[in-house]
């Protein structure tokens, strides 16, 4: 049922993702256009508990669409996991007369939003802000495209030096327990091997690959390992290959947080801007408890519970194609 909103709050939580600022900007400007006051809550759930609320106007979000990180800062809050912590957060939300919330973050943020919505009765919608692309109900998350491009740009540079020295490089990418970044980066850089958490039998294939490598005269190799890989991280796997093939010249490069920084791509800015606008419009229409996203170009609204519990499976066919192309 459509509702009259006076004050909404927006916050970012969990790992920052490029495009979060574009989403904040869209929420603030849409709300102002709809005659709604907007409060930014700094440092996510931590700031909700510790009363870090600040009124935002159109000028507060000027010149941020192109900036990585988040102007509202981000944090992971243990305190919010406790009933006492959430009670303090709700007290502050009531103090500032917040009657709807936009939560921007990943699965942990959504789990918190679900509890907060149930315990406070305040309508909340979520926007998917994480580089991992591991949120059910949306084809892409805000920050994922930029992270892919950051990783690809870095690995292209690694290729130059790998080629010059005829070395094997194990490159570790982020993604927590999800292989979206690993698989798609691996495909985009033409990696010889891609190890991701979802496919468990790959170490053996990796060793087979190096056994056959001698006869195939490949000058250098790039192996992509996702950080949550079940059979070992890049350092472990490199060590194992080194032990089995001592004649290979092996190096390890862990890309780390460089993947999460920098200016968001056009794709992430557009996704964030459209979703930020929709978040306010959906709250105005009385929608709540939903994680917003886009599925095949259409706006999707997934209950928080499903967004947290369900899983979008990787395209295993892409993994097979990547193997064929690396022959």
* Annotation says 132 is catalytic: yes
Nearest-approach distance from CB 250 to ligand F6P, in angstroms: 24
Complete edge-to-edge strand list for the sheet that includes strand 298-303 = 53-56, 37-41, 7-12, 100-105, 124-128, 290-295, 298-303
Is residue 278 near ligand F6P by the rule CB under 6 A? no
- Cβ atoms within 10 Å, residue 82: 12
Nearest-approach distance from CB 178 to ligand F6P, in angstroms: 8
Is residue 131 near ligand F6P by the rule CB under 6 A? yes
Burial of 183 (0-12, 13-18, 19+ CB in 10 A): buried
Q: How many chain residues touch ligand F6P (CB under 6 A)?
A: 10
Region binding ligand F6P by CB under 6 A among candidate stretches 129-137, 209-217, 294-302, 317-325: 129-137
Which candidate in 132, 145, 202, 268 is catalytic? 132
- Any alpha helices (H) in the chain, and if so which ranges? 20-33, 44-49, 83-95, 107-120, 144-165, 180-189, 202-216, 234-244, 266-284, 304-309, 316-325
**3-class DSSP assignment, residue 91:** helix
Is residue 130 near ligand F6P by the rule CB under 6 A? yes
Is residue 226 near ligand F6P by the rule CB under 6 A? no
* Residue whose CB is less far from ligand F6P, 40 or 175: 175
Nearest-approach distance from CB 62 to ligand F6P, in angstroms: 27
* Residue whose CB is less far from ligand F6P, 147 or 241: 147
* Residue whose CB is less far from ligand F6P, 43 or 260: 260
* Residue whose CB is less far from ligand F6P, 234 or 250: 234
Choosing from 19, 44, 105, 106, the residue that interacts with ligand F6P (CB under 6 A) is: 106
Contact 132, 178 (CB under 8 A): yes
Nearest-approach distance from CB 47 to ligand F6P, in angstroms: 17
* Token digits of residue 307: 């967004």
Is residue 15 near ligand F6P by the rule CB under 6 A? yes
Interacting residues with ligand F6P between 168 and 197 (CB under 6 A): 174-176
User: What distance in Å separates the CA atoms of residue 143 and residue 121, rounded to the nearest whole number?
Assistant: 30
Give phi and psi for 166, each to the nearest 5: 55, 55
DSSP states of 186-202 as a string?
A: HHHHT-SEEE-TT--SH
Interacting residues with ligand F6P between 237 and 276 (CB under 6 A): 260
Nearest-approach distance from CB 21 to ligand F6P, in angstroms: 17
Is residue 129 near ligand F6P by the rule CB under 6 A? no
Q: How far are the Cα atoms of 175, 217, 321 from residue 318, in angstroms, in the given order?
A: 17, 25, 5
Nearest-approach distance from CB 142 to ligand F6P, in angstroms: 12
Which are the catalytic amino acids? 132
Residues that bind ligand F6P (CB under 6 A): 15, 106, 130-132, 174-176, 227, 260
């Amino acid at each position: 049922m459509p509702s009259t909103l006076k004050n909404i709050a927006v916050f970012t939580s969990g790992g920052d993702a490029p495009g979060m600022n574009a989403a904040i900007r869209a929420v603030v400007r849409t709300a102002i256009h709809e005659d709604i006051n907007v409060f930014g809550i700094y440092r996510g759930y931590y700031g909700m508990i510790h009363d870090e609320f600040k009124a935002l106007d159109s000028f507060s979000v000027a010149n941020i669409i192109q900036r990585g990180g988040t102007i509202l800062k981000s944090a992971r809050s243990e305190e919010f996991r406790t009933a006492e912590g959430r009670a303090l957060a709700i007290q502050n939300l009531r103090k500032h007369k917040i009657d709807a919330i936009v939560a921007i973050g990943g699965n942990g943020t959504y789990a918190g939003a679900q509890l907060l919505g149930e315990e406070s009765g305040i309508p909340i919608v979520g926007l998917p802000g994480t580089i991992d692309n591991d949120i059910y109900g949306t084809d892409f998350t805000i920050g994922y495209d930029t992270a892919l491009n950051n990783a690809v740009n870095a690995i292209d540079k690694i290729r130059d030096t790998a080629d010059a020295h005829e070395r094997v490089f194990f490159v570790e990418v982020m993604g927590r327990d999800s292989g979206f970044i690993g698989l798609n980066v691996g495909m985009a850089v033409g990696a010889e091997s891609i190890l991701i958490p979802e496919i468990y039998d790959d170490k053996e294939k990796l060793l087979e690959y190096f056994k056959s490598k001698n006869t195939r005269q490949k000058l250098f190799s790039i192996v992509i390992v996702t950080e949550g890989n079940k059979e070992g991280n890049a350092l472990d796997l490199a060590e194992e290959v080194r032990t089995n093939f001592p004649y290979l010249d092996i190096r390890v490069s862990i890309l780390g947080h460089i993947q999460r920084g920098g200016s968001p791509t056009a794709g992430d800015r557009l996704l964030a801007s459209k979703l930020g606008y929709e978040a306010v419009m959906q709250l105005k229409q009385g929608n709540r408890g939903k994680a917003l996203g886009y599925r095949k170009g259409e706006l999707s609204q997934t209950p928080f519970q499903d967004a947290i519990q369900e899983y979008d499976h990787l395209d295993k066919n892409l993994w097979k194609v990547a193997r064929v192309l690396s022959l």
